Amino acid sequence: MSAAALALNSWRHLERAGAPLAQRAEALCRAAAAAPGIVDAHYLGWHVGSRTFRQLAGTSSLPPGLSGGPPASDVPILAQLQAHPSLPLTALRDESGWLSGRLRRAGYRHGRALQLVLEPGEHGLLLLHTGDQALDTDWLEASLRALQQEHPGAPPPLQLLPDDPQPILLLAADGTLRAANPAFFDLPGASRDGALGYLPVNHRSLVRACLQQRRAIGNVEADAGGRLFLWTFVPAPQHQTVLARGLDATDALQRDRDAVRARRLYRLITENTTDLISRHTPDGCFLDASPASWTLLGYWPEQLRGQYLHDLLDPDERDGFLARSREALEQDGYQTLTYRIRHRDGHYLWFETASRAIRETYTGDVVEIVSVSRDITARVQAEFNKRRLEDELAHAARLVTLGELASGIAHEINQPLAAVTNYAAASQRYLEQLPQQPQTERVAQGLAHIREYAQHASQVIQRLRAFLRKGARRMQALSVAAVAEEAVHLCAWEASHHDVTIEIDAAEPLPLVYADRVLLEQVLLNLLRNAIEANREAHPTSRSRVELAAWLDDSGDMLIEVRDQGPGLTGDDRNRIFTPFYTRKAEGLGLGLSMSRTIIEGFGGALDLADRPGPGLTFRCRLPVRRPHQYTETT
């Protein structure tokens, strides 16, 4: 068999098999070029947009020629070929279209142009170039047309794979059913008339798109009475049909939908829960966190990623926390810890965190830690306040008991003091009857001192009894200087013991104030004792000074200030110093300043911290001055 015959046979086989257009066109050109006298053969298709003949992608190209202007229309050439299916190349060279210009630039002078349609509904052109000789090509044209009429490009019928377990449908271009395989008819209620119920509702649009775009469309979901199918549409342009293959994916899709719902629910919970859900490496590095991190700690989740938990812990508790956490997770796989953690603003919160270890399947090593944390600061503070309140109530009860015993104690002390005073007076009278000698004078001086100090001790006991005595509030006009001196006397021993000097600047005459004498004395005594304690803290081995000053300000109110030389307070402590039960003293109640402010406010005044240069604190008490025609002083 000749080479031309073999090439023609190959082209005929591809035509029969419905091969792609470019493949069939290239086989046609090889078959024509193998014929005697044919130098080159090229197949061109019609390009609707430019209205010219263009070479197909994947086929041999015309030889390049000189560049020309923009392509002109090949409509006149197309009209000639429709009237005369075979034309000499000399007739085409004289036209003004794109093809004519290309032939001139390529130097094609002799040969034929055959109208040959390889794709139904499309225009096609086969160029036969015979070189410099005008050869007869009628025999080749006749052979090609005879073979095309024998096999006019009709591909063999599609096979629906009868043994395929999945349903397969053959759909026409309008979406109607042409055929189906046995697996389809095994479906419940399946029939030729009911086939479309298993397809997507938009299957007609899918068929059109599949054929027009000449591409497969896959994984299209369809709900057929509760059963879910995934369909793949494969085009067969030669037949103008589409092969639709279905996959019963009811269980798989339902699992996917359940998983999606579970993920959505999990995300909804994690994004809206007030607890902080976080993931960590075994050494405590944040891998991820829920949005509650912003509400609780002041950090967004992306700011926590890569940060270590121990950087947020109290430095004093850090080492112990990490050791306990690592040991519990390694041994038990879970733990619950209560600890302090630092907020982004700098203050500390109490956290309760429940953690669970995620282990590697084969080795059992901890590879990740999942934690749920909540802020329990309010609960811890409430428990602490409850315990402290119980302790303070017990202490208050002891103070009440002491007050009830004060009268008896003072009576027991006053009796021996009175006896000492009487014996000293009697001894002085006896000495006055004896002859005056140096020894008797010294004894007389000693007895005088004994009487003086005994009387002073008796006065202290009387003031203490008055201070602790129960009774209703007694409002009266008072001298601030006199009340201040009484308060200084009550804390004089404590000041002397700590080497603190109390200076009073309350020069008379000052107007009188209207208050309860015992309660005002209690306020000043509390302020003085706090000042002495502050001085002792700042000057433990040297002498220091506390000032108590009183004066009338421009607004007509009485101002009383107690100034110390202590270490002072920070901003946070200054804001909380009048809060009930707040104290910086290890043995303090935290009630003194709160009660003092309440007492002064009950008199119509105010008690606050005053700003002044230098170290230490200044407490300022403001009291209204009594009206002279309303009250008289009571001592």
Structure confidence by residue, pLDDT tens digits, 297-308? 999 999 999 999
Structure confidence by residue, pLDDT tens digits, 576-632? 777 766 666 655 556 678 778 888 888 889 999 888 777 889 999 999 986 544 444
Residue that finishes a domain, picked among 326, 356, 375: 375
The two tokens of residue 422 are 């009487």
* pLDDT value for 597: 86
**Which single residue is written with the structure tokens 């025999």?**
139
Please tell me whether residues 322 and 247 are part of one structural domain: no
Q: Work out the pLDDT band at 548, boundaries 50, 70, 90.
A: very high
Whole-number Cα distances in Å, 287 to 277, 305, 359, 631:
11, 5, 16, 75
Structure confidence by residue, pLDDT tens digits, 179-228? 888 888 888 777 655 566 788 989 999 999 999 998 999 989 998 877 88
Q: Work out the pLDDT band at 500, boundaries 50, 70, 90.
A: very high
* pLDDT value for 582: 60
Q: What is the CATH number of the domain that holds 368?
A: 3.30.450.20
Please tell me whether residues 292 and 330 are part of one structural domain: yes
Q: What is the CATH number of the domain that holds 430?
A: 1.10.287.130
Q: How high is the mean pLDDT of the chain?
A: 81
* pLDDT value for 138: 74
pLDDT at 511 over 80: yes
For residue 325, what are the contacts with CB-CB under 8 A and spacing of at least 6? 284, 335, 337, 355
**Strand, helix or coil at 4?**
helix
Identify which of 156, 162, 49 has the alpha carbon closest to the alpha carbon of residue 98.
49
* pLDDT value for 154: 47
Please tell me whether residues 493 and 570 are part of one structural domain: yes
Please tell me whether residues 358 and 277 are part of one structural domain: yes
Identify which of 241, 238, 244, 120 has the alpha carbon closest to the alpha carbon of residue 172.
241
Please tell me whether residues 350 and 436 are part of one structural domain: no
Q: Which residues of 407-420 are buried (b: 16+ CB within 10 A; e: fewer)?
A: eeebeeebeebeeb
- Residue 331 resides in a domain: yes
Kindly report the pTM of this predicted structure: 0.36
Q: What is the DSSP letter of 625?
A: B
- Residue 635 resides in a domain: no
Q: What share of the chain is helix, strand, coil (3-state, %, to 5)?
A: 45, 25, 35
CB contact at 8 A, 428 and 444 = yes
Q: Which residue has the higher pLDDT, 520 or 158?
A: 520
Please tell me whether residues 94 and 51 are part of one structural domain: yes
Please tell me whether residues 29 and 143 are part of one structural domain: yes
Q: Work out the pLDDT band at 137, boundaries 50, 70, 90.
A: confident
Structure confidence by residue, pLDDT tens digits, 85-103? 888 888 888 888 888 888 8
Q: What is the dihedral of CA 438, 444, 448, 454, to 10 degrees?
A: 130
Q: Stretch 421-427: mean pLDDT, rounded?
A: 84
- Residue 178 resides in a domain: yes
Domain boundaries, position 325 = 273-375
* pLDDT value for 47: 81
**Strand, helix or coil at 157?**
coil
Strands 177-180 and 217-224: unpaired
Please tell me whether residues 194 and 89 are part of one structural domain: no
Instruction: Indicate the angle between helix axes 138-150 and 21-33, nearest 10 degrees.
Output: 150
Q: In what order do the strands lie in the sheet with 348-359?
A: 286-289, 276-280, 366-375, 348-359, 334-342
CB contact at 8 A, 476 and 516 = yes
Residue that finishes a domain, picked among 346, 375, 404: 375
CA–CA separation, 54 and 486 (whole Å): 119
CA–CA separation, 536 and 530 (whole Å): 10
CB contact at 8 A, 286 and 306 = yes
pLDDT at 161 over 80: no
CA–CA separation, 410 and 466 (whole Å): 11
Q: Stretch 325-337: mean pLDDT, rounded?
A: 85
Please tell me whether residues 370 and 396 are part of one structural domain: no
For residue 106, what are the contacts with CB-CB under 8 A and spacing of at least 6? 62, 63, 64, 65
CA–CA separation, 123 and 572 (whole Å): 91
Residue that finishes a domain, picked among 150, 179, 211: 150
What percent of the chain shows pLDDT beyond 90? Answer: 17
* pLDDT value for 175: 87
At CA 77, angle to CA 37 and CA 35, rounded to 5? Answer: 15
Q: What is the CATH number of the domain that holds 553?
A: 3.30.565.10
Identify which of 624, 488, 470, 483 has the alpha carbon closest to the alpha carbon of residue 559.
624
Q: Stretch 443-467: mean pLDDT, rounded?
A: 74
The two tokens of residue 255 are 């699992």
Q: What is the CATH number of the domain that holds 92?
A: 3.30.450.40
Strands 276-280 and 241-248: unpaired
Structural domains of the chain, count: 5
* pLDDT value for 409: 72
* pLDDT value for 349: 92
- Residue 155 resides in a domain: no
**Strand, helix or coil at 80?**
helix
- Residue 631 resides in a domain: no
